[in-house]
Structure 1
Amino acid sequence: MQLYTPRLFAMKKIFLLPLGLALSMCATAQVATGRLLTENQPHPVGLDVRQPRFTWQLVSDKRNVLQTAYELQVLEDGGGKVWSTGKIASLQSVLVPYRGPALESGKAYRWQVRVWDNSGKASAWSQPALWQMGLLQPADWKAQWIEPGFAEEPSRPSPLMRKEFSTGKKIARATAYITAHGMYDAQINGKRVGDAYLTPGWTAYQKRLQYQVYDVTSLLQQGRNAIGVSLGSGWYRGIIGFSNNSNVYGKDIALLMQLDIRYADGSTETIVTDDTWKSSTGAIRYAEIYNGEKVDNRMAKEGWSLPGFKDADWSGVKVGNHSKDVLVATYNEPVRKKEVFAPQRIFTTPSGEKVIDFGQNLVGWVQLKASGKSGDQIVLSHAEILDKTGNFYTTNLRAAHARDTFILRGNGVETYEPTFTWHGFRYLRVEGYPGELKPENFKAVVLYSDMAPTGTFTSSNSLVNQLQQNIQWGQKGNFLDVPTDCPQRDERLGWTGDAQVFSRTAMFNMNVHPFFTKWLKDVEADQVAGSVPFVVPNVIGAGALGSAGWADVATVVPWNLYLHYGDTGVLAAQYNSMKAWVEFMRGKSKDNLWNTGFHFGDWLFYRPDDDNDGRAAVTDKYLIAQCFYAHSTQLLINAATVLGKQDEAAAYTSLLQNIKDAFRKEYMSASGRLVSGTQTAYVLALHFDMLPEELRAATAQRLADNVKSYGHLTTGFLGTPYLCEVLSRFGFTDQAYNLLQREQYPSWLYPVKMGATTIWERWDGQKPDSSFQTPGMNSFNHYAYGAIGDWMYRTMVGLDTYEDGPGYKHIRVKPLPGGSFTHASARMDTYYGTVAAGWKKEAGNFLLEVQVPANTRASVFVPAATAGEVKENGVMVTGAKDIEVRGSSNGYVELQVGSGKYQFSAPLPANATTKASN
């Protein structure tokens, strides 16, 4: 977690400089090191990883710079050396594991590194990076679980809990460890603890409950101190899932907090939750994720988290007997406040309602300022869209009220923002506001997991550029501690199918390594006999599991994480989960054919009444299941191979052949025609290599013919992610680009033309006449169809990684120009540094710019007939000393380059359409 002391924050600003600035600072140096990460985080506080891994970047403005050796040392913060590697001959600069003595609970450490480059020169030692361990054993928790000591009201107003204590000596360091059943919001001496929201986050609470760790040294004072913590029902016992389901994990609401204080003289003291705390209620009278929050400022306990507050009439607390064995440190970034939007328009609807438009469909809440009489009640309602007449539309929210109520105390300007809820919205209806609605009194605050932005994409098509923005905003809105399906209605669940189809796109746009690593542990925790639930954490029922394309998240996401970040650790951690899912499918199969159980199929595919010509886009669900059975088995083979499990890789290779044989026998004719002649059937069969190689070209032609006959896509959640990829792989690049550039329904750009600022759940969530699809399932912020981004980045621009150098250690740049595009480019921050590629058609030439970070290499494919046509920065590549020509094929010249920036050019081929073969 990025929870900083002022000192750590200052260090963060030093070491997370933009790459360009870092390069300019080091222009005269041979090599330097920077951007140090500990377990994928800068300066994390509260790790319970006993052997954390260290990552650093080499910074140099020279070409072909490689690391040949490193030396890394770990020291106690303020103390002596704990461990040193000595000089290690190695290219590895990413995820280097700690191999020293056992690390201690709560202790702070720092590490630094120096490297030797391929010129034999050593860098200076890096500046140190700090981290602090969490509590590594249940016995390290001295605190007790406490619950409110009063009888709760049916509306469950948020409990307040407080404790006063004294510190008589100078404080050197104070660390707070906090978690809750429900959500918590903590203060010390009237100041908020940390900048994380909706804590402790959502996990499979029955097996994994996160705690957060905060450096609170600056919040304490010598003398009297007070801790105040408010609690909300949250995911733990609040309404979640369907049919007003509540108390999923328990009926209680409880707090566990431990404050460890180290004094300047070396002595220590621990303040804990126990039976000496007091409890009451305050201004938050109701708080539910779906329904919103009610705050009555007349009931606020002013100064309740300050020392000296009179709490004689407060109740005591009950000590709870809850487990500490399930406690785990927080690995992923917390939910934080991010962008802030001002009102773009304040207007009155045709029905007479006062509405504010913030201009962006976002996830978070509204900050409000108002002054009025005691008892004035302001009601804020949230909506994503207006109906065809311009009125406020909330029918698609189903049972979610999405409504915040604020009752004024009547003592001047009062400020309100929620604490234990959030909303998905663009429009805000305001009722009961005392006075005129003025823009300066309303702000929309965006919330999402604080993942670092990593990728950018731009092109010559403004609508496609807006599509990219919509993809990113869909990710922001739905990556809120778990990858939710939608953020606005009575759902907001971790649907596994959505996550697996979008995972590779997500990895380009943001650093989701910690985010997905955390969530995958809950996937495994909620597996039942190997089967994976529809949603994780599973709050919709014991039988809601095992659907093809959804449950395959257990294999797809770990493998994608490995490819994108080069992390073998996540494969090792998830291998048993991956294997269990494949074995579940094997156990449900007869003669290697999996044709049992419930499956969602190609969810929300295009489904007009086109049965009359015999080509309805309905894909056999068991055909889909067999394809994913094969795909997950292949990914398990891949993982076993990487992890050195050769016997298992061989056994599953044999199983995979049997699965494909069963597919061909059941679903394919001798000529390669499938029993379902749909785009999705052909896409999955081709993408997962279900067909004999000699039949694939003819089958791809059938797919292309289908697309051409419709003139548009017909795919749903499972076919869409691979549609353009399969078309371009088999040479139908024009078809792929036609689909991307299509502006009419159904298409990716149709919602953009309709004014969308996020990805829609349905291709026609709002129809051309501005009426809506069925409100029972019609989210306007639902990222699954945004998976087209993966094709845009990795095929259209051509920026990819090889399996022999995952994590962009070996970079692949193979652009695929097409359509009416005249340029397209992408940049992405990797653990090695920024990789970038951009192509442009100009004056009869094809121009390709490439950026390769230090300690990596790249295979660059320039569209050209021969190497004699290719120049780099105006010089023929055939004579360049730092560029290796590997040959030419399929309309490309392959070049091998090391780190640096390159500008390639070649005459535009007569036929500029090339094939995106591997």
Structure 2
Amino acid sequence: MTLSIVNCKTEYMTNPIGIEAGKPRLFWQIEADSRSAEQTAYHILVASSSEKLAAGQGDVWDSGKVESSQSIQVEYAGSELLAEGKYFWKVRIWDKEQQPSEWSAASFWTMGLLSREAYKGKWIGRKRDAEHNMQPSPHLRKAFSLKGKVRSAFAYATALGLFELHVNGKRVGDYFAPGFTDYNVRTQVQAYEITELLAEGDNAFGVIVGDGWYAGTVGFLGDKVYGERPFFMMQVNVEYEDGSKESIVTDHTWRVSKGPIVYSDFIMGEAYDARLEIDGWDEAGYDDAAWEQPDVRSGYNGNLVATNEPPITITKTIKPISIKKSPTGTYIYDMGQNMVGWTELKVTGERGTTVTLSHAEMLSPDGSLYLDNLRVAVQQEHYTLKGEGEERYEPHFTFHGFRYVELIGYPGEPNLDTVIGKVVHSDTPETGYLETSNAMVNQLYSNITWGQRGNFLSVPTDCPQRDERLGWTGDAQIFARTASYNMDVARFFHKFVWDMIDCQQPSGAFTDVAPDAGWIRHKNWNTRLNWFAPDNAGWGDAGVVIPWTLYLMYGDTRILETHYEAMAKWVEYLRINTDNLVRPDYANYGDWLSIDADTPNEVLATAYFAYSTKLLGLIAGVLDKPEEVSRYDQLFQDIAAAFRTAFVSEDGVIHGETQTVYVLALQFGLLTEELRLKAIGHLAADITKRGDRLTTGFLGVGYLLPALSDNGRLDIAYKLLTQEVFPSWMYSIKHGATTIWERWDGWTEDKGFQTPQMNSFNHYSLGSVGEWMFRYMAGIEADASAPGFRNAIIRPQPGGDVSSVNAHYDSLYGRVGVTWTLGADGSFKLNVTVPANTTATVHLPGIVTHIDAAAYEAGAADSEIKPVTQANGETVFQIGSGTYAFASQITNA
């Protein structure tokens, strides 16, 4: 057997710059040329230079041979890491025959500034332009000279607002940096290595600053939620070849001017006048004598932290599929996909001509853009031409949710190449793939992933088009598991958990949105109107659910350790605000946007109180806190008993009698065995009497199909999945949906559009069914006792009219793959792929007819496929890494 090491990462990243973790976690994957490949030991070297590492000198950390199978989440244990240190590392491993591998290729990471005192830059901006409410985006500039050849140069940049950094005329970084945080608490610092962009002699920095979430419009809370105008801060530390050092920082010596961006706002769009462009402004040699001196802010009281989220970037480009001229002479493009980002315009025309690009998700019945659901948002760009040949334009500090683009005032006749769609979101690479024999199920999966692309932008937004776009916690927690299958969201959710922690109240309550964005103040004002609750079940519980999800999917114990006390505060807050462990009924969201059902708030709130408590007991077990395990386990049992006493009758009827009350009681384990059997009967009966249709809203829908599948009604789960009559997932698809709608009745044949005040057509919550599609239909499940897919549970559950599934999930260890087919005669074939250094427990439905002969020999001790049990109509096998084939006969297919 030959093992090789690939895909080495530090803190989930490849060669990260400017991290601040004192004990970074290291990850690697293993490739093997045979089955059942295992790592039995590892040896890590960390060196202060690439030369020392190449020579085998681990002068920073030499782990020696460590007897361990761990290849993810391996914590650095060397000497103290220094600010701005650059560290090089490699690893080798031993297999189960005690044969060593070759060393991995070298990887590295660099540390950030690490202390507040290390930041020498000042916050600079431009004085307010009294003539306009919406301000032009300031252009900042600094010319400087370097005295010699540069060995290394690192920039540490941030903004209260957004920034776009240019070094000697070249843009550095991605979009919307430094991301959305509660600026009253923390601001992230972006680190860039810019060594290759600097030259001996004259150089220049150029920066454009945007209002962003800091000073621009945020949600429906208005603008200037955190501050009146944006500011920028940067420190560039340069080391010369002779070892000397120099820093260039933001201060009063920089210059500032307004430029062509008349205004740029997330919610209100952008106006850009190309006649005001400043040629060469970001390059050395430009004469900035006419520019202003910057306004220097006195200070900032929040924390400066290394960026804790993936960058926001353009991940795809889309060409429109059609163009139509409207009766008013405008041109309407169909991008063919509801997307998030912006459009790039290509235009030639006379100087002073203004072209407007207007964006919308849907068309009105008369063929015009449907704009009513935007509320006060304005998804438009206004571009004024400079009149110098072909011009290309795309906005700077705004984004839109749209499928349709209206081109207004275009000079001449546009074509399909005139606009290009730029898909923009946090860089969360795809990790999941799912394809079935059912074309509409495939479209559903596509809609789910596009909804995630559209709403995972620094925070998990609730919608990308109207005047909201906030990080609603309830939406995030119900979708977190689906999101984790679809894409690598480890860092994305790490950052979002910090957002929740930053706005956790002294009482222990978590807020409804994170970052807070003034929401608490908004809530307190509205409390006088008796509308907002001090907490909301299913929303605040995200503070426990999301960390647990990251543990399951990524084996991450650090997030549990870091936030354990915050989670405990939440559960304690819930406990003391009960009446004999029954939660009050004041929650104002409930099972949000359920359809033809009204789940009582007290039932839902008590169920979620139990669930958070149950998870906290599991988390305490992971962290080896046995006394707290006992305490929370007992509390959970007591809450479950209180739930039954208050809400469940002897015949299994649960107060409210909605699908959601039964689903939550079943999934959270709140019922006795006798009541469980009765409850599943009531749930099934309700679905059947409605013609196999659901009523669940945001909180119930994610657990609906799992509750049915876990309790013997897989048949109903598949009927709901493929139901085409309203309300259903397929109903929207039949009517052209390419993303998940916010509400089941966003548009219906008989009523048209729902109320425009709450009607997004790109809102991922109801797409939480994606979790069931991976865990049950495809059968790729995480094992809580061996998290991160150290041991995958492969348990496909075929049904309905889905006759085949091809799915995979790229775990931190590598790809877990499942392909199955079900014949009309009940013959079932299953192929499984398991990555090296992991195992899998395979549940094969039906009567076994074939086991991979190359890997199985009945009764052989060294067989690569080991039978475990045979019960409940399935045979269970334990397998090592590799690819395997099984077959069985399902008698009731």
Question: Would you call these one fold, judging by a TM-score over 0.5?
Answer: yes
Other-structure match for 2:378: 401
1:878 CA drift (Å): 3.0
For the pair 1:605 / 2:594, whether they are aligned, the reply is yes
- Note the 1:557-596 alignment, pairs <5 A: 557-596=546-585
1:704 CA drift (Å): 0.5
Q: Name the CA distance, whole Å, in 2 between partners of 1:876 and 1:95.
A: 33
Q: Name the CA distance, whole Å, in 2 between partners of 1:72 and 1:525.
A: 35
1:166 is aligned with what amino acid?
S
- Note the 1:233-632 alignment, pairs <5 A: 233-242=211-220, 245-323=222-300, 326-349=303-326, 352-528=329-505, 529-539=507-517, 540-542=519-521, 543=523, 545-607=534-596, 617-632=597-612
1:891 is aligned with what amino acid?
G
Which of 855, 868, 879 is the equivalent residue of 1:897? 879
Cα 1:707–1:843 change in 2 (3 A) is: closer
- Note the 1:70-109 alignment, pairs <5 A: 70-78=42-50, 80=52, 81-109=59-87
For the pair 1:171 / 2:150, whether they are aligned, the reply is yes
For the pair 1:125 / 2:96, whether they are aligned, the reply is no
Describe the superposition over 1:496-539 as per-residue Cα deviations: whole angstroms up to 9, x where unpaired. Answer: 11100100000001010000001101101101121111111112
For the pair 1:680 / 2:684, whether they are aligned, the reply is no
Other-structure match for 1:859: 841
Aligned residues of 1:351 and 1:391 also touching (Cα < 8 A):
no
Describe the superposition over 1:846-901 as per-residue Cα deviations: whole angstroms up to 9, x where unpaired. Answer: 10000011111111011124x5x342258876356211111201110011110110
User: What SS does the aligned partner of 1:632 have?
Assistant: helix
Percentage of pairs with the same residue: 43
- Greater alpha carbon shift after TM alignment, 380-389 vs 398-407: 380-389
Residue-pair matches, total: 870
Aligned residues of 1:870 and 1:877 also touching (Cα < 8 A):
no
User: What SS does the aligned partner of 1:290 have?
Assistant: coil
Q: Name the CA distance, whole Å, in 2 between partners of 1:152 and 1:127.
A: 57
2:558 is aligned with what amino acid?
G
Other-structure match for 1:34: 6
Aligned residues of 2:846 and 2:891 also touching (Cα < 8 A):
no
1:324 CA drift (Å): 6.5
1:725 is aligned with what amino acid?
P
- Note the 1:646-685 alignment, pairs <5 A: 646-685=626-665
1:778 CA drift (Å): 0.6
Aligned residues of 1:77 and 1:130 also touching (Cα < 8 A):
no
2:612 is aligned with what amino acid?
S
Describe the superposition over 1:39-72 as per-residue Cα deviations: whole angstroms up to 9, x where unpaired. Answer: 0111111101111000111110211111100000
User: What SS does the aligned partner of 2:513 have?
Assistant: coil
Q: Name the CA distance, whole Å, in 2 between partners of 1:860 and 1:877.
A: 17
Describe the superposition over 1:201-257 as per-residue Cα deviations: whole angstroms up to 9, x where unpaired. Answer: 0011111100101111121122111111111110001111215x1221121321101
For the pair 1:709 / 2:686, whether they are aligned, the reply is no
For the pair 1:142 / 2:120, whether they are aligned, the reply is yes
Q: Name the CA distance, whole Å, in 2 between partners of 1:147 and 1:286.
A: 15
Q: Name the CA distance, whole Å, in 2 between partners of 1:655 and 1:388.
A: 55
Other-structure match for 1:791: 772
Aligned residues of 1:873 and 1:902 also touching (Cα < 8 A):
no
Q: Name the CA distance, whole Å, in 2 between partners of 1:876 and 1:118.
A: 19
1:108 is aligned with what amino acid?
K
Q: Name the CA distance, whole Å, in 2 between partners of 1:298 and 1:775.
A: 38
Aligned residues of 2:796 and 2:843 also touching (Cα < 8 A):
yes
1:31 is aligned with what amino acid?
L
Aligned residues of 1:863 and 1:892 also touching (Cα < 8 A):
yes
User: What SS does the aligned partner of 2:565 have?
Assistant: helix
User: What SS does the aligned partner of 2:60 have?
Assistant: strand
User: What SS does the aligned partner of 2:44 have?
Assistant: strand
Other-structure match for 1:14: none
TM-score (norm 2): 0.96
Which of 593, 610, 615 is the equivalent residue of 1:635? 615
User: What SS does the aligned partner of 1:197 have?
Assistant: strand
1:663 CA drift (Å): 1.1
- Greater alpha carbon shift after TM alignment, 451-460 vs 152-161: 152-161
Structure 1 portions without partners, runs of 5+: 1-28, 608-616, 913-918
1:371 CA drift (Å): 1.6
Describe the superposition over 1:338-369 as per-residue Cα deviations: whole angstroms up to 9, x where unpaired. Answer: 10011211102356531111111111111112
Aligned residues of 2:585 and 2:601 also touching (Cα < 8 A):
no
Other-structure match for 1:721: 702
User: What SS does the aligned partner of 1:489 have?
Assistant: coil
Q: Name the CA distance, whole Å, in 2 between partners of 1:873 and 1:505.
A: 35
User: What SS does the aligned partner of 1:49 have?
Assistant: coil
Other-structure match for 2:526: none
Q: Name the CA distance, whole Å, in 2 between partners of 1:368 and 1:318.
A: 34
Cα 1:150–1:811 change in 2 (3 A) is: closer
For the pair 1:825 / 2:797, whether they are aligned, the reply is no
TM-score (norm 1): 0.93
Other-structure match for 1:230: 208
2:594 is aligned with what amino acid?
F
Which of 110, 128, 142 is the equivalent residue of 2:88? 110
Cα 1:783–1:150 change in 2 (3 A) is: closer
Aligned residues of 2:312 and 2:458 also touching (Cα < 8 A):
yes
For the pair 1:744 / 2:733, whether they are aligned, the reply is no
- Note the 1:753-792 alignment, pairs <5 A: 753-769=734-750, 771-792=752-773
Other-structure match for 2:38: 66
1:198 is aligned with what amino acid?
F
1:801 CA drift (Å): 1.5
1:498 is aligned with what amino acid?
D
User: What SS does the aligned partner of 2:64 have?
Assistant: coil
Q: Name the CA distance, whole Å, in 2 between partners of 1:189 and 1:357.
A: 38
Q: Name the CA distance, whole Å, in 2 between partners of 1:824 and 1:599.
A: 40
User: What SS does the aligned partner of 1:894 have?
Assistant: strand
For the pair 1:815 / 2:804, whether they are aligned, the reply is no
Other-structure match for 2:55: none
Q: Give the root-mean-square deviation of aligned CA atoms.
A: 1.5
- Greater alpha carbon shift after TM alignment, 587-596 vs 182-191: 587-596
Aligned residues of 1:138 and 1:325 also touching (Cα < 8 A):
no
Q: Name the CA distance, whole Å, in 2 between partners of 1:710 and 1:267.
A: 77
Other-structure match for 1:835: 816
Q: Name the CA distance, whole Å, in 2 between partners of 1:349 and 1:436.
A: 13
2:680 is aligned with what amino acid?
A
User: What SS does the aligned partner of 1:557 have?
Assistant: helix
1:591 CA drift (Å): 1.5
For the pair 1:202 / 2:180, whether they are aligned, the reply is yes
1:390 CA drift (Å): 2.3
1:825 CA drift (Å): 2.4
User: What SS does the aligned partner of 1:440 have?
Assistant: coil
Describe the superposition over 1:809-850 as per-residue Cα deviations: whole angstroms up to 9, x where unpaired. Answer: 011011101001111121011111100112102374210000
Other-structure match for 1:699: 679
Aligned residues of 1:350 and 1:391 also touching (Cα < 8 A):
no
1:393 is aligned with what amino acid?
Y
User: What SS does the aligned partner of 1:46 have?
Assistant: coil
